[in-house]
């Protein structure tokens, strides 16, 4: 007598039989899952996905200082690749029997297809373990590099749920479509959804399985409900439960399962709806007010300290940057014969755009205009001769720190020799002057090089006929070669004037001289050297060296065969000389 028949007949042994059957089924599910989970764990596909995801996370986090509210999402981006490969591996596992033509043999077993599907779903523990390992490795890497803040548990759990949901989708697919291509196509769809998610306006990107982090890295701290890690994890949990229920429904024809499937379906819909509603909710106005106020008036939230008469203002949580800033600045100051009248300030600045609809969706135009005005009024958008701004999210970690230190030293040296700054930020036109043939430029570069002991390379290249090539500026009626210092394009600090190749070459010659000799010459006529009319040649003569003079060769009057000269359609921008 079967358990169902016993129950129907009112036999007292019915419930016992049903319970026994349920226990044995559970045992079978666990036994099968114990066999499948290790297969999934050491699947070449899954391990390759973990490797590829790791490469992506490394690539995303290797340059800038890791901020946990941004990096946690970037770890999730790596998990999106892992999820794609888990989907393929799970589909291959679930479709194995039918693909090998063993469907009839399996049907003859006392275990139903639904039980086998449940076992496959349970075996996703193997994939989840890989995902947890991935998170552990990535978190260790981030912490070693000095991660700022603390990771959000919701975001990290969301990454694991993404992998599990993808695995469940693979099993549901494999139950119906055993061909390996089905899994590959589904994985491509999942990956394409992830890649294109950021293109949609408002809060829609949150509805995708995972989205590419937008301005998270530009924030000085996470906001309430932004990034909405917990709500997204809830949505993914609902999707995982829903797909798992569909996978069992596709393979089950037993009435008792339907009740459980209905419960799972309702639970899935409830979780997804709750998660989606929470993610679509606009960020509270008070939170955004706080954010843009911190951008426009950083002093409200920043902690300032003073060392060697230099003021350092950093957002809370960024105190670890202080030592990396103090050393190059102090080294520059120690080499100065006299300090400028106005004190130096090194301050962090935030450049967050209210135009990002992921951040400001659901708010009115007037409110947006107000925030825009606040963002444009940020101090980093206005040139300040005595302040070096460091942009949140751009400061590097690891090997690139040397370049950042050089940039800070150069910023301090430019302040010391009165070179005017150039504006950065949204309101900036990007215009900067050129200290062409000015002794103070070479002195500033010499100060920075000797303060950081960085062996910089002149980023000029030799052209086909032995001529120099590279970036140039038009100053007055002549073209001059620029000097691009290492890390200049990364924008570690607010930019100064456009430095020239001649200035760098003279500074390099100065660095080759005994430091005491250079210091003596600078001490002897410091105010003269700071005058913008004092030339490179005068400084070189005082030091007993030859001033370099490389100029851009005039273009040929006639084009070579096969080359056409195109006349410029508008006026060519002429860079002003720094004359203050």
Nearer to another protein, 92 or 172 (CB): 92
180, 214, 337, 470: residue in contact with another protein (rule CB under 8 A): 180
Should residue 16 be labelled a site residue for another protein when binding is judged by CB under 8 A? Answer: no
In this complex, which beta carbon is closest to another protein, that of residue 24 or of residue 63? 63
> Of the two residues 194 and 481, which places its CB atom closer to another protein in the complex?
194
Give the integer Cα–Cα distance in Å for 365 and 361. Answer: 10
In the complex with another protein, the residue whose CB is nearer, 81 or 241, is: 81
Residue among 110 and 570 whose Cβ is closer to another protein: 570
What is the C-alpha to C-alpha distance for residues 446 and 507, in angstroms, rounded to an integer? 5
Options 30, 129, 184, 394; binder of another protein; rule CB under 8 A: 184
Question: Which C-beta is closer to another protein: that of 259 or that of 566?
Answer: 566
**Pairwise CA distance, residues 459 & 477, whole Å:** 24
Q: Name which of 48 and 402 has its Cβ closer to another protein.
A: 48
* Residue numbers 86-105 binding another protein by CB under 8 A: 92
HSE toward the beta carbon, residue 506, CA cutoff 13 A: 32
**Contact range with another protein by CB under 8 A, out of 101-109, 121-129, 167-175, 187-195:** 187-195
Shortest distance (Å) from residue 289 CB to another protein: 29
Told to check if 189 binds another protein by CB under 8 A, we report: yes
Nearer to another protein, 48 or 479 (CB): 48
- Residue 491: closest CA among 413, 574, 411: 411
Decide: 432 and 498 in contact? Cβ < 8 Å.
yes
| Residue selected from 102, 181, 307, 427 as contacting another protein according to rule CB under 8 A | 181
Which structure tokens are listed for 478? 């002549």
Tokens 């001059």 — which residue? Answer: 480
Which DSSP category does 215 fall into?
S
**Of the listed pieces 7-15, 186-194, 516-524, 534-542, which binds another protein according to CB under 8 A?**
186-194
Regarding 201 and contact with another protein (CB under 8 A), the answer is yes
CB closer to another protein, 191 vs 216: 191
Residue 45 and residue 131 in contact, taking contact as beta carbons nearer than 8 Å: no
> Regarding beta strands 310-314 and 345-349, do their DSSP bridges make them parallel or antiparallel, or are they unpaired?
parallel
Residue 232 C-beta-side C-alpha neighbours within 13 Å: 27
Instruction: Candidates 34, 62, 179, 311: give the one binding another protein (CB under 8 A).
Output: 179
Cα–Cα distances in angstroms (integers) from residue 43 to residues 37, 82, 168, 169, 368, in the given order? 10, 12, 16, 17, 50
The tally of CA atoms less than 13 A away on the side-chain side of residue 274 is 13
59/224 with CB nearer another protein: 59
Residues 6+ apart with CB under 8 A from 543: 509, 510, 513, 517, 518, 521
Q: Are 500 and 483 in contact (CB under 8 A)?
A: yes
CA distance 187 to 494: 43
Contacts of 284 (CB under 8 A, 6+ apart): 224, 225
Could you tell me if 395 and 65 are in contact, meaning their C-beta atoms sit under 8 angstroms apart?
Answer: yes
- Is residue 423 part of the contact set for another protein (CB under 8 A)? no
Q: Which of 19, 127, 125 is nearest to 82 (CA)?
A: 127
Among positions 25-54, residues that touch another protein (CB under 8 A) are 45, 48
Q: Tell whether residue 464 is a contact of another protein (CB under 8 A).
A: no
User: Residues 195, 382, 384, 479: which binds another protein (CB under 8 A)?
Assistant: 195
CB of 184 to another protein, least distance (A): 4
Residues in contact with another protein, counted by CB under 8 A, come to a total of: 18
Q: Which is nearer to another protein, 44 or 255 (CB)?
A: 44
Piece of 190-198, 389-397, 467-475, 545-553 that binds another protein (CB under 8 A): 190-198
Of the candidate spans 191-199, 264-272, 307-315, 510-518, the one that interacts with another protein by CB under 8 A turns out to be 191-199
Distance (Å, whole) CA 19 – CA 12 = 12
Handedness of CA 205, 207, 208, 211 (dihedral sign): positive
For the bound state, the minimum distance from the C-beta of residue 48 to another protein, rounded and expressed in Å, comes to: 7
Least gap, CB of 294 to another protein (angstroms)? 31
Which residues of this chain interact with another protein, rule CB under 8 A? 45, 48, 92, 179-182, 184-185, 188-189, 191-192, 195-196, 199-201
């Amino acid at each position: 007598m079967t358990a169902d028949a016993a129950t129907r007949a009112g036999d007292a042994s019915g419930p016992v039989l049903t319970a026994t059957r349920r226990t044995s089924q559970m045992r079978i599910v666990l036994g099968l899952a114990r066999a499948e989970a290790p297969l999934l764990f050491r699947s070449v596909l899954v391990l390759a996905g973990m490797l590829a995801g790791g490469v992506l996370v490394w690539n995303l986090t290797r340059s800038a200082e890791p901020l946990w509210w941004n990096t946690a999402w970037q770890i999730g981006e790596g998990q999106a690749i892992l999820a794609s490969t888990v989907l393929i591996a799970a589909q291959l596992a679930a479709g194995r029997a039918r693909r090998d033509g063993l469907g009839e043999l399996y049907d003859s077993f006392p275990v139903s297809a639904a039980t086998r599907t449940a076992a496959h779903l349970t075996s996703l523990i193997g994939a989840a373990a890989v995902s947890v390992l991935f998170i552990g490795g990535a978190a260790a890497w981030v912490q070693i590099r000095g991660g700022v803040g603390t990771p959000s548990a919701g975001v990290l759990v969301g990454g694991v749920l993404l992998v599990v949901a993808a695995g469940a989708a693979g099993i549901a697919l494999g139950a119906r479509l055993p061909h390996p291509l089905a899994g590959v196509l589904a994985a491509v769809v999942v990956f394409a959804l992830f890649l294109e998610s950021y293109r949609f306006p408002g809060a829609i990107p949150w509805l995708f399985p995972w989205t590419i982090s937008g301005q998270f890295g530009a924030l000085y701290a996470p906001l309430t409900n932004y990034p909405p890690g917990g709500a997204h994890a809830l949505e993914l949990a609902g999707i995982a439960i829903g797909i798992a229920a569909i996978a069992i429904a596709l393979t089950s024809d037993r009435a008792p399962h339907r009740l459980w499937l209905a419960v799972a379906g309702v639970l899935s819909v409830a979780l997804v709806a709750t998660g989606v509603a929470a993610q679509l909710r606009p960020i509270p106005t008070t939170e955004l007010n706080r954010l843009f106020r911190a951008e426009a008036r950083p002093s409200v939230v920043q902690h300032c300290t003073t060392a060697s008469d230099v003021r350092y203002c950093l957002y809370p949580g960024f105190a670890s940057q202080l030592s990396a800033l103090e050393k190059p600045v102090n080294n520059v100051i120690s080499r100065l014969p006299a300090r400028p009248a106005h004190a130096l300030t090194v301050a962090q600045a935030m450049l967050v755009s209210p135009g990002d609809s992921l951040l400001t969706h659901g708010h009115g135009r007037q409110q947006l205009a107000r925030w825009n005005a606040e963002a444009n009024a940020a101090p980093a958008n206005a040139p300040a001769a005595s302040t070096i701004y460091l942009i949140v999210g751009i400061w590097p970690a690891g090997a690139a720190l040397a370049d950042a230190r050089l940039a800070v030293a150069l910023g301090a040296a430019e302040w010391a020799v009165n070179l005017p700054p150039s504006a950065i930020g949204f309101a900036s036109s990007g215009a900067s002057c050129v200290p062409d043939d000015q002794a103070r430029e070479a002195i500033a570069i010499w100060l920075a090089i000797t303060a950081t002991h960085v062996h910089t390379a002149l980023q000029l290249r030799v052209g086909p006929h032995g001529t120099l090539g590279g970036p140039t500026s038009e100053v007055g009626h002549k073209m001059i070669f620029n000097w691009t210092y290492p890390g200049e394009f990364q924008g570690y600090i607010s930019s100064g004037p456009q430095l020239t190749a001649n200035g760098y070459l003279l500074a390099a010659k100065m660095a080759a001289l005994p430091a005491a000799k250079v210091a003596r010459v600078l001490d002897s006529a410091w105010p003269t050297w700071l005058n913008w009319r004092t030339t490179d040649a005068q400084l070189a003569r005082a030091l007993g060296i030859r001033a370099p003079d490389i100029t851009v060769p005039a273009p040929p009057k006639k084009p070579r065969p096969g080359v056409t000269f195109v006349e410029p359609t508008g006026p060519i921008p002429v860079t002003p000389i720094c004359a203050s």
